[in-house]
Structure 1
Amino acid sequence: MDFAYSQKVEALRARLTEFMDTQVLPANVAWHRAAEEGRYPLEIIERLKGRAFAEGLWNLFLPHLREDEPGTRLTNLEYAPLAEIMGRIPWASEVFNCSAPDTGNMELLHMFASPAQRARWLVPLLEGRIRSCFAITEPDTASSDPTNIQTTILREGDDYVINGRKWFTTGAKHPNARFVIVMGLSDPRPEADAHARHSMVIVPLDTPGVAVLRDLPIMHHHSAEGHCEVLFRDVRVPAQNLLGEEGKGFALAQTRLGPGRVHHCMRSIGQCELALELLIERALERRTFGRHLADYANIQDWIAKSRIEIDQVRLQVLRAAWMMDQAGNAAARIEVSAIKVAAARLQTEVVDRAIQVFGAMGLTPDTPLSALWTWGRALRFVDGPDEVHLRTIARDEVRKAKARRGATAAYLVPPRNREAVIAPRRTTAASSD
């Protein structure tokens, strides 16, 4: 495994960094002002999207782009360091058509859409003309186990009828959002296979019966495009809006998650790098009791620990991305669970240290730190709570241990020999002759 960036990736990193510094960062204040006023900064985004498209910094996340589709075909390992750069400004990914949930939806449509679905939904997404949503989480079930999902998607003649309530449907407030992919129960029989009872359908957001009820702020932090509660009441869509096969919704959901978790984790690492840079600059400027904060041993420890931990998690994420490229998403399932836990916890740790160095200012909107900490905490739920991923990792370890059970026996000291090993018996001069 060689995680050194190739010349191709280094060139893309340089171009992307320059674009972020000269185009995106100067627009950051205006973007936030518009969002705080309740207006999605569409004009800013569209202007920057046009420039990114013209410069070839477009659809960087999708490894299997066809020749006739716009974008740059990159592997997961090649895209990962670019996601880190985008992550430094949380809204920047949309500029390059690389933002969630569109990325996951494009991957799903790329793999499973019919020709008609590709033409109507995938092509406009790839071109950045529309946005989309993904509705899976529900307020009335433990959605960490997708087999619990109760929203129904039932066949009636040539249609599917959808009834249910979803929430944290990111992007439903975006002015360009045109459709949502809904996962729901298509086989209500209790005796049916729990992993073959759900399906996914494409629902245009202007379909009668679809109601975006409210935006859900995350720890009082509002998203400009919304993490919304959405009600589906007798929503009827044509049967051809089924994505993939009926009963395969659980498998589709698993397929969608792997690359997206790498994207989330690398963006998180970019935010940790920013937090560390802010921490160090503040520590070099701020004085207490006659000394700069950077002169105190505990602050130096925070800086060193942050550097070690960021580099560790980055390498862990790159390894997961490499495994996905080499053996497929399923083969990297355990590694993806591990990075999802590690990156979210890293973000809250590093940003928390930065907030402490900034003092009370770190709690205010004068720095990005409070928003970054909030998002790091949210990431411990996004794409599945930590506990689910820890359980997945532990089960895999136990499974491997059962397969080699008894292999550690040689390392154990039998009770009858323990005394001799711990305190060898002395030999007398006579016995040694």
Structure 2
Amino acid sequence: MDFGFDATTNRYRERLLEFMDECVYPAEHAFHEQAAGSGWSPPPMLEDLKAEARSRGLWNLFLPGERGAGLTNLQYAPLAEIMGRSPAIAPPATNCAAPDTGNMELLAEFGSEWQRKEYLEPLLAGEIRSAFAMTEPDVASSDATNIATSIRRDGGEYVVNGRKWFITGAMNPGCRVFIVMGKTDPEAPKHRQQSMVLVPRETPGLTVRRGMTVFGYDDADHGGHAEVVFEDVRVPVDNLIGEEGGGFAIAQARLGPGRIHHCMRLIGMAERAVELMCRRVLTREAFGRPLAQQGVIQDWIAESRVRIEQLRLLVLKTAWLMDTAGNKGAHTEIQAIKIAGPATVEWILDKAIQAHGAGGISQDFPLAALWAGARSLRFADGPDEVHKRSLAYRELKKHMG
């Protein structure tokens, strides 16, 4: 394993660091002010940032092959980390934001020719947004086989009925299509009951009911998280993605890269938290000496550095394995980073917040919002407990007769 940056990675890193310093960090205050006044629409300045990123060749970096930048997971990892330092701005500005990244990967791999033309191409161009409708309020969605939304075949159409929630990006008016997971055959083997269909936003019977808050944040700057109701929603059978009964397998294929992308960005969030913590404690005094000289503060800083380096190495190993052995070959490591990443960064953010005093929980610093984001990732793409259950079973299986 060689985790050194190659020439391609270094070129992109230099460009991206310049973009962050020249365009993203200076825009943060105005961006969040615009977000507060623009409802569920993205802040107007985002389009300028997108145009600037694209002009610098910083576009679709997440996607391998000719449709994207052609980078490997190992090459993309340090770039996603940099973008994670300003997660509300840098990922959408470079067209590398969830859930669109996962949806683009899904359509690129499983979509039909017309589906790719109709939805993948405008997503790649940053002209529309999309949503992935999987989680439901009435069942334990941590077990994807529990998904209860019905997708029933009726002649040349599918009829969709069900309720979803925490559907990221759905409040954004630019979200033009939903990838909906539901049951096409409740009598099939449990991992072959589910299918996925494309449902355009304007389809009769689809109602975006309300935005869901996350620890009080509406996350409007990236389209919010909606409760969505499907009542006798009809779409042509051509809107089926892949084959009937293939929904569970497609979901697993989609979530693998998404999980590592989240963890890559989390490292950037942690690095920014440590920087803010160090600057803060060097400028504040308590009990007659700078906070930076307090033993407990030094312990937080040292422990944060150790945890970041450990997490980064695990993420890079996972990226390398995904490139060399495929997503299935990296299954254990993907689960490990999904368990370790949010919890590790949540701990670091908590210490940075504590070092900032009341300011740490205020809107004057990004720490509270970053903490809410890290904490929510212990649910997104599967809760910790599900990953631990699966990971433990894989370990036990090695020793079974």
TM-score normalised by the shorter chain: which range applies? over 0.9
For residue 90 of structure 1, report the CA deviation from its aligned partner: 1.4
What is the CA distance between 1:188 and its match in structure 2? 2.1
Q: Tell me, yes or no, if the aligned pair for 1:170 and 1:228 is still in contact at 8 Å.
A: yes
Contact 2:34–2:43 (Cα < 8 Å) also in 1: no
Task: Specify the alignment match of 2:201 in structure 1.
Answer: 205
SS at match of 2:226: strand
- Asked whether the equivalents of residues 311 and 337 of structure 2 are also in contact (C-alpha less than 8 Å), the reply is yes
Q: Secondary structure at the match of 2:141?
A: coil
What does residue 119 of structure 2 align with?
Answer: 121
**How many percent of aligned residue pairs carry the same amino acid?**
55
2:210–2:226: 8 Å Cα contact kept in structure 1?
A: yes
Alignment of 1:75 onto 2:76: no
Tell me the CA shift for residue 98 of structure 1. Answer: 0.4
1:94-148 CA-partner distances (Å, limit 9, x unpaired): 1111000000000110011111111101111111111100000000011111100
Please say if residues 341 and 380 of structure 1, whose CA atoms lie closer than 8 Å, have aligned partners that are also in contact. yes
CA contact (8 A) 1:84 1:267 kept: yes
Contact 2:342 2:374 in 1 (8 A): yes
1:86 is aligned to: 83
User: Do 1:151 and 1:185's aligned partners in 2 also have CA atoms closer than 8 Å?
Assistant: yes
What letter matches 1:88 in structure 2?
A: R
Shift of 1:175: 2.4
Amino acid at match of 1:138: E
Residue 323 (structure 2) aligns with: 325
C-alpha displacement of 1:23:
1.0
Q: State the secondary structure of the residue aligned to 1:402.
A: coil
Normalized against structure 1, the TM-score is what?
A: 0.90
Q: Secondary structure at the match of 1:247?
A: coil
Larger Rg: 1
What is the match of residue 25 of structure 1?
25
Q: Deviations over 1:224-282 (max 9, x none)?
A: 11100000000000000000001000000000011111110011110000000001111
Deviations 1:277-307 (A, max 9, x none): 0011111111001100111111111111000
Distance 1:306 1:285 in 2: 19
Selected match of 1:147 from 145, 148, 152: 145
CA contact (8 A) 1:167 1:230 kept: yes
1:297 aligned partner, one-letter code: G
Aligned-partner Cα distance in 2 for 1:374–1:52: 27
Answer yes or no: is the 8 Å Cα contact 2:136–2:164 preserved in 1. yes
- 1:36 shift after superposition: 1.6
Give deviations 1:332-385, integer Å, cap 9, x for gaps.
111101101111001110001011111111111111111111111111101110
User: Offset of 1:42 from its aligned partner?
Assistant: 4.0
1:163-207 deviation line (CA, Å, top 9, x unaligned)? 000001000111211000000000022xx2000000000000110
Q: Distance in 2 between matches of 1:38 and 1:386?
A: 34
Contact 2:35/2:43 (<8 A) preserved? no
Of 88-97 and 160-169, the range deviating more from structure 2: 88-97
1:219 equivalent to 2:220? Answer: no
C-alpha contact (below 8 Å) 2:104/2:120 kept by paired residues = yes
Q: 1:302 aligns with which of 294, 297, 300?
A: 300
Q: Structure 1's 42 and 32: CA in aligned 2 closer, same or farther, altered over 3 A?
A: closer
Q: Matched residues in 2 for 1:384 and 1:195: separation?
A: 16
Amino acid corresponding to residue 321 of structure 1 in structure 2: A
Q: Quote the offset at 1:38 in angstroms.
A: 4.1
Which of 218, 234, 242 lines up with 1:244 in the alignment? Answer: 242
Paired letter, 2:46: I
Distance 1:399 1:147 in 2: 23
Residue correspondence of structure 1 range 251-266 to structure 2 within 5 A: 251-266=249-264
The DSSP-based 3-state class of the residue aligned with 2:52 is: helix
Q: Secondary structure at the match of 1:329?
A: helix
Q: Distance in 1 between matches of 2:381 and 2:185?
A: 24
Counterpart position of 1:56: 57
Tell me the matched-pair count. Answer: 397
Which residue of 2 is the match for residue 417 of structure 1?
A: none
Which runs of no fewer than 5 residues in structure 2 stay unpaired?
none
Aligned match of 1:43? 44
3-state DSSP class of the match of 1:62?
A: coil
1:270 to 262, 268, 271: 268
1:31–1:41 CA contact under 8 A, matched in 2:
no
Q: 1:378 aligns with which of 367, 376, 388?
A: 376
Q: Which residue of 2 aligns with 1:420?
A: none
Aligned-partner residue type, residue 50 of structure 1: A
The equivalent residue for 1:413 is none
Distance 1:298 1:28 in 2: 31
Is the 1:76–1:322 contact (alpha carbons within 8 Å) kept by the matching residues of 2? yes
**Residues 206 and 231 of structure 2 are in contact (CA less than 8 Å); yes or no, is this contact kept in structure 1?**
yes
2:147·2:182 contact (CA, 8 Å) conserved in 1?
yes
Aligned counterpart in structure 1 of residue 356 of structure 2, from 358, 361, 378 = 358
Structure 2 counterpart of 1:422:
none
Matched residue type, 1:30: A
Give the letter for the 1:34 counterpart.
Q
Give the aligned residue type for 1:81.
P
Which deviates more, 301-310 or 17-26?
17-26
Q: In the alignment, is the contact (CA less than 8 A) between 2:34 and 2:44 conserved in 1?
A: no
Give the aligned CA root-mean-square deviation in angstroms.
1.0
Give the conservation status (yes or no) of the 8 Å contact 1:213–1:229. Answer: yes
Distance 1:52 1:359 in 2: 36
How many angstroms apart in 2 are the aligned matches of 1:188 and 1:7?
51
Deviates more, 1:23-32 or 1:381-390: 23-32
Tell me by how many angstroms 1:37 deviates. Answer: 2.2
Q: Partners of 2:243 and 2:195 in 1: how far apart?
A: 7
- The answer on 1:156 being equivalent to 2:154 is yes
Q: Distance in 2 between matches of 1:42 and 1:287?
A: 38
- Return the alpha-carbon distance in structure 1 between the equivalents of residues 153 and 332 of structure 2: 36
Cα contact 1:165–1:232 (8 A) shared by 2: yes
